[in-house]
């Protein structure tokens, strides 16, 4: 039977199952196949903090959403067109996001009385009208997988575990994905157990062939490659891009990279990734706590390395005192905060942007630091380089505010030419800088950058002492002089405030917008998609996005004042809006949501339409 092929311009698929069902891996593989095809993609993993919550329960549901299109897209998509539900819990947890008409592929083997009862289904939703209006495809995924592997040399448990590859095979067939990379991946992943390679490949093929032969799937879909700038691409998550950016910063500065880190969700992957790159001279240390992690990084910076610490909000709170010390010592330090929903443990695997205040103000004394935020997964690479550039050039701590959404989401990344990356080379102090030609003044500043000399131990003739006590201008000697303290506090503020950062760019293709949407960090995608939606409907709206939160771009005030209305969507209760109102006296409107999930483009579009009506 030859199947009908239908062209689509975009599709959103959500894979959902138990945390042990391998949904993240399945989604990841589908994404990789899709990337190979040249579609634009954006992904959103969503998983519980529990490693293995009780099987079959709602808290144990893990999902992975992938949005792919034949044009450039900005978000993982608001609502799935297809849901793959590996059990009743996965169906129940995700049904609320599914628009009527969507395809639902369910693993019927898991719809047992017991599993249904676990999530409160009295009657199987496959048998009543719960799924009326959806295109339901019941598939006995588990039993068909076990059946397909009957003659394989694997245990029943291993056979059962390969059911995610059956699902992947089926979806790969449905959307005409090239699967060579998945076969290669399986060979790598199970290199030491050839029988598992064979079993997983067989399960994948069984899923593919099932699609080909069953009458339940009458249509196969194609999504043509997107028009993207020429070059070599790879699909990358924010945490991976950030890690590579830090490695690149080491290469481009010629300095050894030292990472001090304590495991914390969702930042640990950066520690894992950087620990693989010893051949770049990257030294990683899993410290005894968050405080030691930043302390060791600062000690490494003192010795002439690029000192980095990676964490999430609770860790930044613990590091606060050491960051203030770094402010006083005026040494380079990069602090990466992969934000998660707080306060306290909060929702460790869910996203939020509520550490902006912490980054800007969360220290004792007047302790300004530079703060920057990436806008997308691939942008994390450049944000890491920029954080290193500021830290090294201006000898200051820099806080990089990533978040769970960009950290674990992924998108295609056009690989940069290494030689085009910024030159981060620094000069250590090598000779006395006093007027007499023999004394060394550790706090004599470069008039342009206001940075003090970086005189690392081992340099003859520059022996000096630094510390947390207030220092006299130039000499760095302990000083309790009132005028000196006032001067030093103001100088430390000026050091940050005068760091040159690029002007904020405004996207206003119609040129007549009266409303500006201002965002920062990971909201770039949903805001951009909402603005596009409005423009497609003939409405004018301008978008500006902040990468630099401290210092802010010099043109920001003028930009803000040139619009009748400024709207600031944030995944917090208005932290940037507060800064903007205080700093620029602009009556910005906040749009705030803290649900642990990114904004949908649709909700922003609806909200902005209201604002546009009332200007």
Partner 1 sequence: MSEPIALKLTAKDFKSDQEVRWCPGCGDYAILAAVQGFMPELNIPRERIVFISGIGCSSRFPYYMNTYGMHSIHGRAPAIATGLSATRPDLSVWVVTGDGDALSIGGNHLIHALRRNVNLKILLFNNRIYGLTKGQYSPTSEVGKITKSTPVGSADAPFNPLSLALGAEATFVARTIDSDRKHLQSVLRAAAEHEGSAFVEIYQNCNIFNDGAFDQLKEHETRDDYLIRLEHGQPITFGKDGQFCVVHPPGGFGLEVRETATTRPEEIVVHDANVTDPAYAFALSRLPGLDLRNTPIGVFRAVQRPSYDNVVRTQLDAARAEVTETPEQQLAGLLSSGDTWTIL
235 lies in the site for partner 1, by CB under 8 A:
yes
The least distance separating partner 1 from the CB of residue 397, rounded to whole angstroms, comes to 14
- Which of the ranges 368-376, 383-391, 463-471, 539-547 carries the binding residues for partner 1, by CB under 8 A? 463-471
The least distance separating partner 1 from the CB of residue 450, rounded to whole angstroms, comes to 21
Nearer to partner 1, 378 or 611 (CB): 378
Nearer to partner 1, 321 or 473 (CB): 321
The residue from 418, 438, 536, 614 that contacts partner 1 (CB under 8 A) is 418
Please tell me the distance from the alpha carbon of residue 92 to that of residue 236, in angstroms, as a whole number: 30
462 lies in the site for partner 1, by CB under 8 A:
yes
The residue from 437, 447, 460, 538 that contacts partner 1 (CB under 8 A) is 460
| Other C-beta atoms lying within 10 Å of the C-beta of residue 258 | 24
Burial 448-481 (b: 16+ CB within 10 A, else e): eebbbbbbbeebeebebebeeebbbbebbbebee
The least distance separating partner 1 from the CB of residue 441, rounded to whole angstroms, comes to 13
The residue from 208, 258, 262, 454 that contacts partner 1 (CB under 8 A) is 258
Tokens read off for 94: 């995700």
Please tell me the distance from the alpha carbon of residue 129 to that of residue 126, in angstroms, as a whole number: 8
Please state the length of the chain.
615
Ordered strands of the 506-507 beta sheet: 506-507, 542-546, 515-520, 565-570, 589-592
- Which of the ranges 115-123, 127-135, 415-423, 533-541 carries the binding residues for partner 1, by CB under 8 A? 415-423
The residue from 101, 230, 437, 447 that contacts partner 1 (CB under 8 A) is 230
The least distance separating partner 1 from the CB of residue 370, rounded to whole angstroms, comes to 21
The residue from 67, 118, 137, 277 that contacts partner 1 (CB under 8 A) is 277
- Which of the ranges 5-13, 52-60, 157-165, 275-283 carries the binding residues for partner 1, by CB under 8 A? 275-283
Please tell me the distance from the alpha carbon of residue 225 to that of residue 71, in angstroms, as a whole number: 8
Pick from 57, 31, 59, 29: nearest CA to 47: 59
φ, ψ of residue 459 in degrees (nearest 5)? -90, 115
615 lies in the site for partner 1, by CB under 8 A:
no
The residue from 54, 225, 365, 509 that contacts partner 1 (CB under 8 A) is 225
Nearer to partner 1, 335 or 544 (CB): 335
What residues contact residue 57 under an 8 Å CB cut-off, 6+ apart?
A: 89, 118, 119
Nearer to partner 1, 302 or 405 (CB): 302
- Which of the ranges 31-39, 163-171, 399-407, 595-603 carries the binding residues for partner 1, by CB under 8 A? 31-39
φ, ψ of residue 106 in degrees (nearest 5)? -115, 145
- Per DSSP bridges, beta strands 257-261 and 306-311 are parallel
- Per DSSP bridges, beta strands 589-592 and 410-414 are unpaired
434 lies in the site for partner 1, by CB under 8 A:
no
Pick from 98, 92, 37: nearest CA to 65: 98
The least distance separating partner 1 from the CB of residue 306, rounded to whole angstroms, comes to 10
Question: Is 340 in contact with 351 (CB distance < 8 Å)?
Answer: yes
The residue from 3, 220, 272, 464 that contacts partner 1 (CB under 8 A) is 464
- Which of the ranges 153-161, 282-290, 511-519, 557-565 carries the binding residues for partner 1, by CB under 8 A? 282-290
Cα dihedral sign, 314-376-597-566: positive
Tokens read off for 97: 């996001």
232 lies in the site for partner 1, by CB under 8 A:
yes
Please tell me the distance from the alpha carbon of residue 524 to that of residue 519, in angstroms, as a whole number: 7
Nearer to partner 1, 478 or 558 (CB): 478
The residue from 100, 114, 279, 613 that contacts partner 1 (CB under 8 A) is 279
Pick from 502, 517, 377, 488: nearest CA to 74: 377
468 lies in the site for partner 1, by CB under 8 A:
yes
Indicate the SS3 state at residue 518.
strand
What residues contact residue 190 under an 8 Å CB cut-off, 6+ apart?
A: 196, 197, 200
The least distance separating partner 1 from the CB of residue 292, rounded to whole angstroms, comes to 4
The residue from 16, 90, 171, 287 that contacts partner 1 (CB under 8 A) is 287
Please tell me the distance from the alpha carbon of residue 277 to that of residue 356, in angstroms, as a whole number: 30
Nearer to partner 1, 91 or 247 (CB): 247
Please tell me the distance from the alpha carbon of residue 170 to that of residue 188, in angstroms, as a whole number: 22
CA dihedral 230, 8, 409, 607 (to 10 degrees): 110
Nearer to partner 1, 184 or 561 (CB): 184
Using CB under 8 A, which residues numbered 143 to 182 contact partner 1?
Answer: 181
Nearer to partner 1, 406 or 462 (CB): 462
The least distance separating partner 1 from the CB of residue 456, rounded to whole angstroms, comes to 8
316 lies in the site for partner 1, by CB under 8 A:
no
Please tell me the distance from the alpha carbon of residue 533 to that of residue 530, in angstroms, as a whole number: 5
Tokens read off for 232: 């070599």
Element housing 209 (H / E): helix 194-213
- Which of the ranges 66-74, 94-102, 278-286, 530-538 carries the binding residues for partner 1, by CB under 8 A? 278-286
The residue from 91, 292, 334, 370 that contacts partner 1 (CB under 8 A) is 292
Pick from 96, 126, 23, 95: nearest CA to 65: 23
The least distance separating partner 1 from the CB of residue 436, rounded to whole angstroms, comes to 14
263 lies in the site for partner 1, by CB under 8 A:
no
354 lies in the site for partner 1, by CB under 8 A:
no
The residue from 123, 183, 218, 415 that contacts partner 1 (CB under 8 A) is 415
- For 86-160, strand residue ranges (E) read 103-107, 135-139
φ, ψ of residue 396 in degrees (nearest 5)? -145, 155
Please tell me the distance from the alpha carbon of residue 84 to that of residue 16, in angstroms, as a whole number: 6
**What residue ranges bind partner 1 (CB under 8 A)?**
32, 35-36, 38, 181, 185, 225, 228-235, 244, 247-248, 251, 254, 256, 258, 260, 277-281, 283, 285, 287-289, 291-292, 295-305, 307, 321-322, 325, 329, 415-416, 418-419, 457-469, 477-478
């Amino acid at each position: 039977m030859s199947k009908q092929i239908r062209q689509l311009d975009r599709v959103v698929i959500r894979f959902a199952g138990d945390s042990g069902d391998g949904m993240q891996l399945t989604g990841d593989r589908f994404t990789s196949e899709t990337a190979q095809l040249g579609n634009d993609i954006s992904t959103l993993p969503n998983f519980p903090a529990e490693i293995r919550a009780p099987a079959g329960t709602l808290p144990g549901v893990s999902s992975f959403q992938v949005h792919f299109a034949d044009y450039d897209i900005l978000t993982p998509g608001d609502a799935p067109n297809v849901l793959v539900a590996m059990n009743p819990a996965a169906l129940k947890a995700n049904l609320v996001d599914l628009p009527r008409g969507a395809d639902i592929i369910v693993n019927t083997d898991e719809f047992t009385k017991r599993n249904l009862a676990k999530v409160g289904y009295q009657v199987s939703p496959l048998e009543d009208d719960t799924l009326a209006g959806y295109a339901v495809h019941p598939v006995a995924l588990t039993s068909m997988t076990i059946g397909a592997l009957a003659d394989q040399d694997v245990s029943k448990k291993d056979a059962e575990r390969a059911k995610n590859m059956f699902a992947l095979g089926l979806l790969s067939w449905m959307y005409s994905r090239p699967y060579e990379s998945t076969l290669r991946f399986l060979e790598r992943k199970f290199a030491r157990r050839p029988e598992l390679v064979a079993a997983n490949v067989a399960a994948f093929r069984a899923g593919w062939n099932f699609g080909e032969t069953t009458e339940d799937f009458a249509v196969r879909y194609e999504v043509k490659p997107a028009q993207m700038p020429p070059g070599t691409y790879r699909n990358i998550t924010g945490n991976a891009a950030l890690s590579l950016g830090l490695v690149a910063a080491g290469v481009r500065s010629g300095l050894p990279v030292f990472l001090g880190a304590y495991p914390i969700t969702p930042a640990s992957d950066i520690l894992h990734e950087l620990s693989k790159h010893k051949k770049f001279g990257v030294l990683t240390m899993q410290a005894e706590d968050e405080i030691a992690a930043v302390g060791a990084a600062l000690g490494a910076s003192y010795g002439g390395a690029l000192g980095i610490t990676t964490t999430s909000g609770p860790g930044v709170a613990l590091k606060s005192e050491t960051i203030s010390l770094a402010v006083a010592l005026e040494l380079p330090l990069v602090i990466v905060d992969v934000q998660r929903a707080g306060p306290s443990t909060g929702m460790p695997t869910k996203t939020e942007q509520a550490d902006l205040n912490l980054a800007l103000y969360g220290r004792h004394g007047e302790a300004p630091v530079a703060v920057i935020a990436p806008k997308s997964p691939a942008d994390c690479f450049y944000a890491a380089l920029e954080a290193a550039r500021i830290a090294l050039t201006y000898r200051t701590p820099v806080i990089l505010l990533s978040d769970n959404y960009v950290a674990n989401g992924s998108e295609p990344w056009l690989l940069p030419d290494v030689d085009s990356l910024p030159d981060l080379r620094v000069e250590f102090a090598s000779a006395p800088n006093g007027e007499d030609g023999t004394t060394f003044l550790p706090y004599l500043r470069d008039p342009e950058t206001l940075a003090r000399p970086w005189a690392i131990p081992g340099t003859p003739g520059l022996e000096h002492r630094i510390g947390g006590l207030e220092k006299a201008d130039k000499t760095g000697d302990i000083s309790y002089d009132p005028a000196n303290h006032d001067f030093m506090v103001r100088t430390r503020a000026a050091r940050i405030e005068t760091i040159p950062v690029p002007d904020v760019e405004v996207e206003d293709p119609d040129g007549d917008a009266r409303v500006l949407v201002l965002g920062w960090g990971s909201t770039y995608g949903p805001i951009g998609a909402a603005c596009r939606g409005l423009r497609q409907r003939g409405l004018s709206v301008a978008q500006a996005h902040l990468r630099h939160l401290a210092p802010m771009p010099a043109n920001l005030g003028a930009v803000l004042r040139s619009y009748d209305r400024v709207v600031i969507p944030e995944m917090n209760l208005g932290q940037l809006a507060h800064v903007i109102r205080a700093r620029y006296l602009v009556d910005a409107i906040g749009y705030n949501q803290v649900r642990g999930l990114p904004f949908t483009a649709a909700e922003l579009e609806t909200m902005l339409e209201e604002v546009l009506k009332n200007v």
